[in-house]
A and B are shown apart, each in its own frame.
Chain A
């Protein structure tokens, strides 16, 4: 089938297999390898992308369901060489080690701060609590999200 969607701000069209997941289509048909998969069953959050600004698990959504919608992947965050403030916050606060969970964590953080620019610790834990990271122990992820909130606020002033 013919899929048409807004991908990282640009209109894109591709011939895709209707039974393929959004995760497969992003990685294989659009060659956007930034979105990762682990459990492929909607539990770990590694494949988180934004659908019309809201976080979803790309591994359990069919690409055909995104017809006419807008998808943001990690590739859509930086502008050229300029990292998104959320990315900067993660780098500066050791919010990643192996980096495999990072794309999902970044997009969740972007969505969180969009909804709630000044989240409390508990709100962060609730919002990001579904995404698994095996390396960091989460302390630096929490720190990164808090730093990101400050950076995003600064950028919007």
Chain B
């Protein structure tokens, strides 16, 4: 059951009044006519929010910059101005038109350059940072500026024989998870209950408790795809405030157009300067990037900051400088997006690498082989890399595509074919504090079955199957003996959120820990009951038996009864702080694990129409251990097709007045079966010492290398190297024309 399929007794329905302007001061709001409409329960505006002294009107984990409803001004088209609660959606919709809002329009900043220009109007006049790592630049729209350095960048460029500099850009796009965002809230005297399709129930609970000064419970039903758009919340506080005012449960379901005004993948621009020796050895890299976080920094500044760690790629580079700016604009707030901005960084450094190869007369694959990180290398962050195998991934994709035949480059129908490769490195969200450990529970229950309790949200990525497989294996019972309970903050232990390919590693490790502890408890209880030494005992589906043919055993039902009805073991996973190698040397842990992979693309470009067809995609990633190979492959394939959209045609476009022009699927096409290439997906299994059974996370690895590989394949085919996506037919034709290719 998904959120929109749920009903609550006494439930009322909400609709949201949104700003028509990207930036404006609110002069006045008159909702009296809406309130008077029969069937309207209440209308929530800034007046009601400010009048309730028990509510903090602002929320946010990174910056406390998001008002429940607009207070002084609106900051993007679609910003929430008022909420109508009515007996049914149609009445609520009708009432929206009766609300009179007077705006005083302000100048707006719609892209990174405008927002960073001297004297640009400020989207937020005051910064309200919460997270300690944030470095806002007062008086500007830069809500976070940070750097990461290694070696001496100037020295590095002095050592280089050649220096290459290129700038890149990628526009905003939307996730288009088919299940639309929605939320149901009910506010009782002593508890708030929220049903939502948000991927991070525990952080959300904490924030609601703080804002509304009341214990909260967050329940996440089955989620119909998120891809990052549901990793952070935007609606829950709005619906809770509306439900509090209404005095009954309230449901808000967004339309597809509204989701485009709620969360988007941010636009990004970057400049990469790379110094190389004549033999292709990379000696220095300066990577500067800016991320358009939109009107509110719900997660934008933090995700931008996180990718400093991977911005220079999976390469050994002695001298590195990375600089990041997260910039407020009058666009909708940004949300993580299947690996963003790793995808854009990869696009930049990997396509530049092909230019370097071409200009130095080197083979692109050999150039990569020469520079790729290997086991035992120390990353820019200072982390000691253990399970890398990036070269194996590249070799794998190159061999899956097979030898490039001479003459294949020119197909008979006037199109040209080409091949391109890319490699990448991905980090995972790594909580700095042990208090943010991922927890799990495994409980033997009265009926002799095992319940695995996890905080991870299930949205089709196979987390249930993974947890069941690991839990059953750890306890030593068949998978049929376990069941899963997840995503209700009142019933399951805490998890930091289902994001950044974390689930297998963190949840898996926590389940493994709990299962191992439970197994020890089961054996010791059985040993007491059977008066037999533990080493002689064996587990099966039915219970614990004495090895050999004595036939003496005790069932799980009896063990549970003996232990007072049930037996619970708790486990946790927190990998952070420092890693100590065999010799006792210590290394920082900037990411719990690092994932390496490679993608190869074969494309066909039409000189006449500029159209690109992606014929084949080979992908390989080092997964450590494939807990569920079919599911993991399916996730990688899903990621590849997903990123074909932003590579080839997806792009959100705003008009001159700051209004979104691409509001429906008519003007915002998505990949279909027609877009799907032929896949060659390989999972490499080089165990990771800290992963459950050697596994690490790979969920987002599929798509991140796709735009880079496609651009390189088009370069190979046409000799034109593009510095932007999407590669629409118009862009391609213009590029071919400009260079006379």
CB distance from B499 to the nearest CB of A (A): 16
A138 touching B664 in the complex, CB below 8 Å, given contacts A97-B461, A98-B223, A132-B670? no
Q: Which residues of B contact A138 (CB under 8 A)?
A: 641, 671-673, 676
A130 to B672, CA, bound (A): 7
| Contact across chains for A137 and B178 when beta carbons are under 8 A apart | no
Q: A100-B225, A134-B670, A142-B673 are in contact. Are A40 and B634 (CB under 8 A)?
A: no
Q: Does A63 contact B (CB under 8 A)?
A: no
Question: A39-B256, A94-B630, A98-B225 in contact; A141/B176 too (CB < 8 A)?
Answer: no
Among B1, B256, B462, B640, the residue within 8 A (CB) of A33 is B1
B634 touches which of A97, A99, A101, A129 (Cβ 8 Å): A97
Q: In the assembly, what is the distance between CA of A33 and CA of B1, in Å?
A: 9
Tell me whether B460 is interfacial, beta carbon within 8 Å.
yes
Q: Is A51 in the interface zone, CB < 8 Å from B?
A: no
User: Of A101, A130, A137, A142, which is in contact with the most chain B CB atoms at under 10 Å from its CB?
Assistant: A137
Neighbouring B residues of A36 by C-beta, 8 Å: 2, 178-179, 224
| B583: min CB distance to chain A, Å | 44
B256 touches A40 (CB 8 A): yes
Q: Is A1 an interface residue (CB 8 A)?
A: no
Identify which of A36, A96, A141 gathers the most chain B CB atoms within 10 Å of its CB: A36
A38 near B178 with CB under 8 A, answer yes
The contact of B177 among A131, A134, A137, A139, by CB within 8 Å, is A134
Number of A-B residue pairs, CB cutoff 8 Å, is 116
Interface string of A62-105 (1 = CB under 8 A from B): 00000000000000000000000000000000101111110000
A39, B665: Cβ atoms closer than 8 Å:
yes
Is A58 located at the chain interface by the 8 A CB criterion?
A: no
Stretch at the interface among A4-12, A41-49, A147-155: A41-49
Given the known inter-chain contacts A39-B256, A134-B227, please indicate yes or no for A98 contacting B1, CB distance below 8 A.
Answer: no
- A142 and B175 alpha carbons, distance in the complex (Å): 23
Name the A residues within 8 Å of B227 (CB-CB).
134
In the complex, A21 has a CB within 8 A of chain B: no
**Do residues B637 and A136 form an inter-chain contact, with CB atoms below 8 A?**
yes
* A43→B225 contact, CB < 8 A: no
Contact B180 A137, beta carbon cutoff 8 Å: no
Contact A125 B664 (CB under 8 A): no
How many residues does chain B have at the interface if contact means C-beta atoms less than 8 Å apart?
A: 42
Q: Does A135 contact B (CB under 8 A)?
A: yes
* Bound form: Cα–Cα A134–B676 in Å: 12
* Whole-angstrom CA separation of A139 from B671 in the bound complex: 12
Q: Is the interface of A mostly helix, strand, loop or mixed?
A: loop
Candidates B180, B459, B674; contact of A98 at CB < 8 Å: B459
Residues of chain A within 8 A (CB-CB) of B5 are: 33
A2 CA / B639 CA spacing, docked (Å) = 46
A132, B460: Cβ atoms closer than 8 Å? no
A44 vs B178: C-alpha distance when bound (angstroms): 9
A128 B673 Cβ-Cβ under 8 A: yes
Nearest CB in chain B: distance from A139 CB, A: 5
Q: How far is the CA of A39 from the CA of B255 in the complex (A)?
A: 8
Across the interface, do A141 and B673 meet the contact criterion of CB distance under 8 Å? yes
- Of the residues A94, A135, A142, contact of B225 by C-beta under 8 Å: A135
Complex Cα–Cα for A97 and B673 (A):
16
Contact A136 to B634, CB < 8 A, known contacts A41-B664, A43-B664, A125-B673: yes
Measured between beta carbons, the chain A residues less than 8 angstroms from B642 are 134, 137
Nearest chain A CB to B629 CB, angstrom units: 11
Say whether B638 contacts A132, CB under 8 Å: no
> Contact at A97–B638, with CB atoms within 8 Å?
yes
B126 contacts the other chain (CB 8 A)? no
Q: How far is the CB of B258 from chain A (nearest CB, A)?
A: 11
Docked complex: B8-64 residues within 8 A CB-CB of A:
none
Say yes or no: B637 contacts A137, CB within 8 Å. Answer: yes
Is the C-beta of B631 less than 8 angstroms from some C-beta in chain A? yes
The answer on a CB contact under 8 Å between B638 and A137 is yes
Do A137 and B641 have beta carbons less than 8 Å apart?
yes
B738 at the interface (CB under 8 A from A): no
> How far apart are B164's CB and chain A's nearest CB, in angstroms?
34
- Does B587 sit at the interface, judged by CB under 8 A? no
Quick one: which of B637-669 are within 8 Å of A by CB?
637-642, 664-666
- A127 nearest CB neighbor, chain B only: B673
Give chain B nearest CB distance to A145 CB in angstroms: 10
CB-based contact B256/A129 at 8 Å: no
Please measure, in the bound complex, the distance between the C-alpha atom of A135 and the C-alpha atom of B461, giving whole angstroms.
9
Given the known A-B contacts A38-B180, A39-B664, A134-B176, are A140 and B224 also in contact in the complex, defined by CB atoms under 8 Å? Answer: no
**Do B665 and A135 touch (CB < 8 A)?**
no
B residues less than 8 Å from A98 (CB atoms) = 177-179, 222-225, 459-460
The answer to whether A43 touches B666, judged by C-beta atoms less than 8 angstroms apart, is yes
Separation of A44 and B256 alpha carbons in the complex (Å)? 11
Is B103 part of the contact surface with A, judged by Cβ < 8 Å? no
Among residues of A, the one whose C-beta sits closest to the C-beta of B638 is A137
Asked whether, in the complex, the Cβ of A38 is within 8 Å of the Cβ of B256, the reply is yes
* B686 contacts partner chain A, Cβ-Cβ < 8 Å: no
- In the assembled complex, the Cα of A94 lies from the Cα of B180 at a distance in Å of 23
Interface string of A11-54 (1 = CB under 8 A from B): 00000000000000000000001001111110110100000000
Chain B hits for A124, CB < 8 A = 673
* B679, CB-defined interface residue at 8 Å: yes
The residue among B1, B177, B676 with the most chain A CB atoms within 10 A of its own CB is B676
A107-148 contacts to B, CB under 8 A, are 124-125, 128-142
**CB-nearest residue of chain B relative to A134?**
B225
Given A33-B5, A134-B227, A44 and B676 touching (CB < 8 A)? no
Q: How near does chain B come to A141, taking the closest CB pair, in angstroms?
A: 7
Which residues of chain B are within 8 angstroms of A130 by Cβ–Cβ distance? 672
Residues of B within 8 A of A37 (CB): 180
Q: Which residue of B lies closest to A20 (CB)?
A: B90
Assembly CA distance A43 to B478 (angstroms) = 44
Nearest Cβ distance between residue B251 and chain A, in whole angstroms? 13
Q: Are A100 and B179 touching (Cβ within 8 A)?
A: yes
Expressed in whole angstroms, the minimum distance between the Cβ of A29 and any Cβ of chain B is: 13
Nearest chain A residue, comparing its CB with the CB of B678 = A139
Q: Which 4 A-B pairs have the closest CB atoms?
A: A98-B460, A97-B460, A100-B224, A137-B641
Known: A97-B634, A132-B670, A136-B641. 10 other contacts (CB 8 A): A33-B4, A38-B256, A41-B256, A43-B664, A43-B666, A101-B178, A125-B676, A132-B178, A138-B641, A142-B673
Q: Can you list 17 A-B pairs, Cβ within 8 angstroms, ordered by A?
A: A33-B4, A36-B2, A36-B178, A39-B256, A39-B664, A41-B256, A44-B670, A97-B462, A98-B177, A98-B224, A98-B459, A100-B177, A129-B672, A129-B674, A135-B225, A138-B673, A139-B641
